[in-house]
Amino acid sequence: MKTSGQQSSVESRLRAVPPHALPAAAEALLSEGYGAREVTLFLADYGLTVLQPVTRLPYTGEPVSAHDGPAGTAFTSQKPVVEITADPATELIHLPMTVRGDRLGVLSVRVPAGSADPVTVLGLGEFATALGHEVATADRDTDLYLQARRIRRLTLAAEMQWQLLPGRGCSRPEYTIGAHLEPAYAIGGDNFDWSTGADHLTVTLTDGMGQGIDASLLTGLTVSALRNARRAGIGLADQAALADQAVFAQYGGKVYASTLLLRFDLDTGTVSAVDAGSPQIYRLRGAGIERIELTAQLPLGMFEETPYEEQTFRVEPGDRLVGISSGVHGTSSAAGDPFGEQALRQVLGATRRSSPHETARAVVAGLIEHAGSKDLTTDAAVLCLDWTGRATGAE
């Protein structure tokens, strides 16, 4: 096993290379440290359907499933997978590459046969995590990894929306978040956001009115206004009120953004909530599933200077919360049947033991199956949060 000093040296060497050169640097470092004969960096595409290999442009590598096969299993299970290959002289180790709970992809490393022992796999896992942090940072300076995540062109509205998101997952000892958007390559008005601090977690789910660029611009303004208010350190109701004023000032009530705001106290599990529109939230506790009924208040930007009030509810260790936009609960099949609460409950019950990431994806997959087409006519956002909580007074 590498010492902390050796690990630090590896991280320093990764930081020293140009952003686009991280795959080549990873291959050189793993060849030197583990005798690796082949290293492939796979990134999950926006739709979470495939893992796309990162190569020089234009991309020439073949994508693999994000759900099946050894690499897909490593991605969904978030555990290393050792593959016995047709070459008896080598083994292929697939390692999940995740940054603070945000699943980026998989690092596949071909090593000499017999060398995939627990110590080696652990060391490679630490390397994959370090590489993931560098890839996430590199997105500020190169398009290489953002381009690798797409299997087709994004619409301009989708480009704007994905750049606005904080990620697709977040994890701390107190909670784990997984979220998903569809249609991934043409999303317009739906958005999720979160911010964590020492004692609180703030989560929002926003559904901007309209479609395409108009919806994306509206949602961009709404999310930016909410962030601006949140970063000023004011309460949840005032955050909603200031965002409401910003949207109304721009659009004069012609369009508006439905938003659900939640603020979790990490010590107590008390949740402050403002329901400003159509997103819904469900709580899974034990074998039960219940919709949390909040007093519906006006969407942001519908009227000038709308007052908002907070409500509270509690979460307990083991609880799961699932927030959905109107594009989920309001979508109908070709025959006119709404997706509705019954279908949603079936999906949530069937995925109770799955990770929040896979649950969010499964809800959207169920929605697509119900609609009978992968090309959803409305945006759909799902955010799933597993609550662990903390002992009172823990840091």
**Domain boundaries along the sequence of the chain:** 1-149, 156-387
Question: In sequence order, what are the beta bridge partners of 290?
Answer: 283
CA atoms within 13 A on the CB side of 271: 22
Match domain 156-387 to its CATH number in 3.60.40.10, 3.30.930.10, 3.40.50.1100, 3.30.70.20: 3.60.40.10
Phi, psi dihedrals of residue 273, rounded to the nearest 5°: -140, 145
- Which amino acid is it at 137? T
Phi, psi dihedrals of residue 377, rounded to the nearest 5°: -85, -15
DSSP state, residue 232: T
- Which amino acid is it at 140? R
For residue 278, the model assigns a pLDDT of 82
For residue 60, the model assigns a pLDDT of 59
The token duo for 359 is 């649950």
The token duo for 316 is 């307990």
Question: In sequence order, what are the beta bridge partners of 380?
Answer: 182
Match domain 1-149 to its CATH number in 1.10.287.3610, 1.10.730.10, 3.30.450.40, 3.30.70.3000: 3.30.450.40
Of 201, 381, 160, 199, nearest in space to 281 by CA: 381
DSSP-H helix ranges across the chain: 4-16, 22-34, 69-77, 118-138, 144-148, 156-164, 212-231, 236-251, 326-329, 340-350, 356-371
For residue 140, the model assigns a pLDDT of 93
For residue 333, the model assigns a pLDDT of 62
CA 285 from chain center: how many Å? 23
For residue 322, the model assigns a pLDDT of 97
Cβ-in-10-Å burial (0-12, 13-18, 19+) of 386 comes to buried
Q: Distances from the Cα of 77 to the Cαs of 99, 171, 183, 252, in angstroms?
A: 15, 15, 24, 47
Q: Is 101 strand, coil or helix?
A: coil
Q: Is 114 left (phi over 0), alpha (psi -120 to 50) or beta?
A: left
Instruction: Report the alpha-carbon distance of residue 14 to residue 17 in Å, rounded.
Output: 6
The token duo for 308 is 């908002």
The token duo for 238 is 């005032």
CA 49 from chain center: how many Å? 14
For residue 332, the model assigns a pLDDT of 65
- pLDDT of the chain, 395 residues: tens digit per residue: 455 555 668 889 999 999 999 999 999 999 999 999 999 999 999 999 999 999 865 555 789 999 999 999 999 999 999 998 888 899 999 999 999 999 999 999 999 998 899 999 999 999 999 999 999 999 999 999 999 999 999 999 999 999 999 999 999 999 999 999 999 999 999 999 999 999 999 999 999 999 999 999 999 999 999 999 999 999 999 999 999 999 999 999 999 999 999 999 999 999 999 999 989 999 999 989 999 999 999 999 999 999 999 999 999 999 999 999 988 877 666 566 677 778 888 999 999 999 999 999 999 988 888 777 777 778 999 999 999 999 764 44
pTM of the predicted structure, to 2 decimals:
0.92
For residue 334, the model assigns a pLDDT of 59
| C-beta separation of 188 from 210 below 8 A | yes
Same fold, 1-149 and 156-387: no
DSSP state, residue 184: T
For residue 256, the model assigns a pLDDT of 97
| C-beta separation of 51 from 173 below 8 A | no
What secondary structure does DSSP assign to 158-177, as a single string? HHHHHHHS--SEEEETTEEE
For residue 391, the model assigns a pLDDT of 77
